[in-house]
A = this chain, B = another copy of it.
């Protein structure tokens, strides 16, 4: 990658989507894929695929396409997911447990190494892999001991900012927030929000357009 070039977030998102499709193609026994096919699978246009990959080098062979396995390796390297990342989850309700047991996360190197709650009913509860739900008070020590690099917040909205502050105090500067609220964080901390209601809105909009057509 040319060092001076800023890569659009949409390109990074699509690289991750390409990677998912390449995994499925490999599973289905494909060894090569054209940009046309990859684009079709991702519901975008082929020029976009070539442009996105073009930021990082020349991966395909003209008229032949991309090597399905090789391109996966390259994309993993670009995205820095060719290594493991340690996750800590706070808020062990249904959403927290769903994330903890999400098989694809750990398969892709996102390892949940610790889980926390503030409820006495949950603290101490055994989890898979010999883990136990820890008291949120132990967050700071555990961040250091287990080298937690990414914080996942699955608490109610009212608790989210407080938990984010604890993560930042422990020098965890990347947060994935599932709580339906805004997290205030300085520029040095990365926050990505997952809001199901936004995607639901998109679906409702499209469905209404279709019904009105």
Binding site for B on A (CB under 8 A): 9, 12-13, 15-17, 19-21, 24, 41, 78-81, 85, 93-95, 97-99, 101-105, 108, 110, 149-150, 173-174, 176, 180-182, 190, 192, 194-210
Contact = CB atoms under 8 A, between A and B. Distances in A.
Total identical chains: 2
Contacts of A15: 201
B182 A199 contact: no
B207 A150 contact: yes
Given A99-B196, A196-B194, A203 B182 contact: no
- Nearest 4 CB-CB pairs, A to B? A80-B208, A94-B98, A16-B201, A95-B98
Contacts of A200: 85, 105, 108, 110, 150, 176
Nearest to A19: B201
